[in-house]
C-alpha cells in the first residue's frame, strides 16, 4: 500500500495524479470527507498518550496546548471546553496510521488535505462500506462519509479527477452545478490590484489543476466569465502620471499593444508643503547616489530605509570590507574620499522591480560611475517591455523637469543655487 497522510495542496494532487498514481481496471477512486471533526477532538490528555510526537513532549506542554484554548466573541472571553485545534492535524496523522494498520482491506493510496481524503480502493465496490464502518468505529468524534466515482470521474475539492483507459488519472478544474461565475465586477470601486489579483489567481489555478489537454478550454471559460463581469482583455495595466502631449501619446502606443493605461496626477497636495527635515528623503526605500571626490558616482538601491543602507556602507568602509561594498572597494583601489553624508535620494520607490529598473536606468544615464555592474539587464527584452521601460523613463524625466520648473517659478531667488542642488542633471 502506498499511503501518505500529510496535508497537501491541489497542485500536489494534480502532480501525483499525473506522475505517480495508476489505477487498475477493478480499482475505484473514492473521496472521504470528515463531517464530525477537529472541534470535537477529545479534550483530556489521556487520548493523546499514544501519539509518538506527544510522547516526546512533557505532560505540562501537552496540557497547555490542549487546555489553553481561549477566544473572544462580542467583547466576551470564553474558554473552549471541548476540542484541541492546536493538535488536530497531529492527532489525525496518528488516527490515520492506526486506522490503516488495523484494517484487513487496505487502500492503495490515501492522500489527505485537511478534512478531505483522496483514496484509490483496489477491492470490490461492496467493501467500501465495510472500510467506512471500520474507520468510523475507531473514535466516536471522528466520523467520515465517502463518495465513489461515477462514470470514471469524481470531484475532489475543486479538482475533477477522471480515470483514463490506460489507468492514469486526468484532472481539470471542477465547478459545482450551482456555480454562477459571478466575481468582483470590474466596475466596482476596488483597487485595480485586487481586480488583477482575481485574474492572476484564476489563471494560476487553471495552470496547476488542468492538464494540458484541458488548459485551453479552461482559459476560454475564464475569458467568457471575466467578460461577463465587465473585464476587458488587456495584457497588462500600466500607471503613468498625466502629462499633456506626452503620456497621452504613450498611452496610444500601449493601447495598440493591448495594454491599458491608468493616469495619475503629476503633482499632489503633499508636494505643496515643504519638508521639515532635509534627511526625510533618506528615511524611505528607493534609489540613491553617492559622489566621490574624483567626480565619479555610485548608484544603489534598497528596499529598506536608505539611511540603513548608508550605515552598512559606513561599517564596510571602517572595516575595509571591500568585497561587501563597491564604495569600500573604490576607496581601497584608488584611495579617494567618499563622503556618505552627501548621499542623495534619486527617487523613492517601494516596489521591487521598478526600483531595480530605475537603478539600472540611472547607471546607464551616469556612465561616470564606479558600480561593479550595470544592474538588471535592460537589453534583449521583448518589444513591449522596451516600450514600457522607455515610457516609464520618459515620464520620470518629464516629472523631474516639471518639478524643477515649478520650484524655479515659486522661488526665483533659489535658481542660482541649483548647480549645488541634490537633483540630478538630465
What tens digit of pLDDT does each residue of 251-285 get?
Answer: 888 888 778 888 877 666 665 655 544 456 788 88
Residues 200 and 99 in one domain: no
Residues 161 and 211 in one domain: no
Question: Could you tell me the residue range of the domain that residue 205 belongs to?
Answer: 181-233
Residues 158 and 203 in one domain: no
Domain assignment present for 21: yes
Residues 137 and 194 in one domain: no
CA distance 403 to 265: 13
Residues 190 and 144 in one domain: no
Residues 167 and 185 in one domain: no
Residues 130 and 187 in one domain: no
Q: Please state, as a whole number, how many other Cβ atoms lie within 10 Å of the Cβ of residue 86.
A: 14
Domain assignment present for 222: yes
148 burial type by CB count under 10 A (0-12 exposed, 13-18 middle, 19+ buried): middle
Residue where a domain terminates, one of 189, 213, 233: 233
In this prediction the pTM is 0.51
Residues 155 and 48 in one domain: yes
Domain assignment present for 347: no
Residue where a domain terminates, one of 156, 173, 190: 173
Residue where a domain terminates, one of 173, 197, 214: 173
Task: Specify the length of the chain in residues.
Answer: 426
**How many domains is the chain partitioned into structurally?**
2
Residues of the chain with pLDDT under 50: 1-7, 38-39, 276-278, 380-384, 386-387, 389, 412-426
Residues 147 and 185 in one domain: no
Q: Give pLDDT, residue 404.
A: 59
Element (H, E) at 262: strand 259-264
Q: Give pLDDT, residue 410.
A: 52
Q: Give pLDDT, residue 398.
A: 54
* Nine cell digits for residue 101: 494498520
Residues 70 and 130 in one domain: yes
Residues 49 and 164 in one domain: yes
Domain assignment present for 293: no
Domain assignment present for 342: no
Residues 20 and 89 in one domain: yes
Residues 309-354: tens digit of each pLDDT = 888 888 888 888 777 888 888 888 887 878 888 888 888 888 888 8
CA distance 159 to 281: 50
Which of 317, 343, 342 has the alpha carbon at shortest distance from 330?
A: 317
Amino acid at each position: 500500500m502506498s499511503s501518505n497522510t500529510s496535508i497537501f495542496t491541489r497542485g500536489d494532487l494534480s502532480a501525483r495524479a499525473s506522475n505517480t498514481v495508476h489505477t487498475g481496471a477493478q480499482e475505484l477512486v473514492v473521496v472521504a470527507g470528515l463531517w464530525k471533526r477537529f472541534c470535537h477532538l477529545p479534550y483530556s490528555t489521556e487520548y493523546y498518550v499514544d501519539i509518538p510526537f506527544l510522547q516526546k513532549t512533557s505532560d505540562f506542554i501537552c496540557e497547555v496546548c490542549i487546555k489553553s484554548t481561549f477566544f473572544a466573541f462580542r467583547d466576551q472571553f470564553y474558554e473552549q471546553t471541548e476540542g484541541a485545534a492546536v493538535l488536530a492535524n497531529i492527532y489525525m496523522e496518528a488516527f490515520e496510521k492506526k486506522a490503516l494498520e488495523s484494517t484487513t482491506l487496505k487502500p492503495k493510496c490515501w492522500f489527505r488535505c485537511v478534512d478531505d481524503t483522496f483514496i484509490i480502493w483496489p477491492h470490490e465496490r461492496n467493501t467500501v462500506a465495510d472500510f467506512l464502518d471500520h474507520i468510523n468505529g475507531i473514535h466516536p468524534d471522528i466520523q467520515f462519509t465517502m463518495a465513489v466515482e461515477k462514470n470514471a470521474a469524481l470531484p475532489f475539492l475543486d479538482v475533477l479527477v477522471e480515470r483514463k483507459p490506460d489507468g492514469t488519472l486526468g484532472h481539470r478544474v471542477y465547478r459545482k452545478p450551482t456555480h454562477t461565475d459571478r466575481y468582483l465586477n470590474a466596475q466596482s470601486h476596488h483597487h485595480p490590484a485586487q481586480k488583477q489579483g482575481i485574474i492572476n489567481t484564476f489563471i494560476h489555478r487553471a495552470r496547476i489543476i488542468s492538464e494540458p489537454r484541458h488548459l485551453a478550454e479552461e482559459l476560454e471559460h475564464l475569458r467568457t466569465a471575466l467578460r461577463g463581469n465587465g473585464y476587458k482583455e488587456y495584457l497588462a495595466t500600466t500607471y503613468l502620471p498625466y502629462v499633456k502631449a506626452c503620456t497621452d501619446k504613450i498611452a496610444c502606443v500601449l493601447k495598440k499593444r493591448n495594454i491599458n493605461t491608468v493616469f495619475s496626477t503629476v503633482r499632489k497636495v503633499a508636494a505643496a508643503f515643504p519638508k521639515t527635515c532635509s534627511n526625510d528623503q533618506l528615511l524611505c526605500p528607493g534609489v540613491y547616489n553617492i559622489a566621490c571626490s574624483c567626480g565619479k558616482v555610485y548608484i544603489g538601491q534598497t528596499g529598506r530605509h536608505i539611511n540603513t543602507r548608508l550605515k552598512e556602507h559606513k561599517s564596510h568602509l571602517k572595516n575595509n570590507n571591500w568585497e561587501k561594498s563597491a564604495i569600500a572597494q573604490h576607496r581601497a583601489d584608488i584611495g579617494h574620499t567618499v563622503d556618505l553624508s552627501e548621499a542623495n535620494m534619486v527617487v523613492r520607490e517601494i516596489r521591487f522591480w521598478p526600483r531595480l529598473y530605475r537603478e539600472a536606468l540611472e547607471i546607464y544615464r551616469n556612465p561616470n560611475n564606479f558600480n561593479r555592474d550595470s544592474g538588471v539587464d535592460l537589453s534583449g527584452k521583448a518589444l513591449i517591455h522596451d516600450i514600457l521601460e522607455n515610457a516609464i523613463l520618459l515620464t520620470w524625466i518629464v516629472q523631474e523637469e516639471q518639478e524643477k520648473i515649478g520650484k524655479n517659478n515659486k522661488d526665483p531667488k533659489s535658481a542660482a543655487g541649483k548647480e549645488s542642488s541634490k537633483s540630478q542633471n538630465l
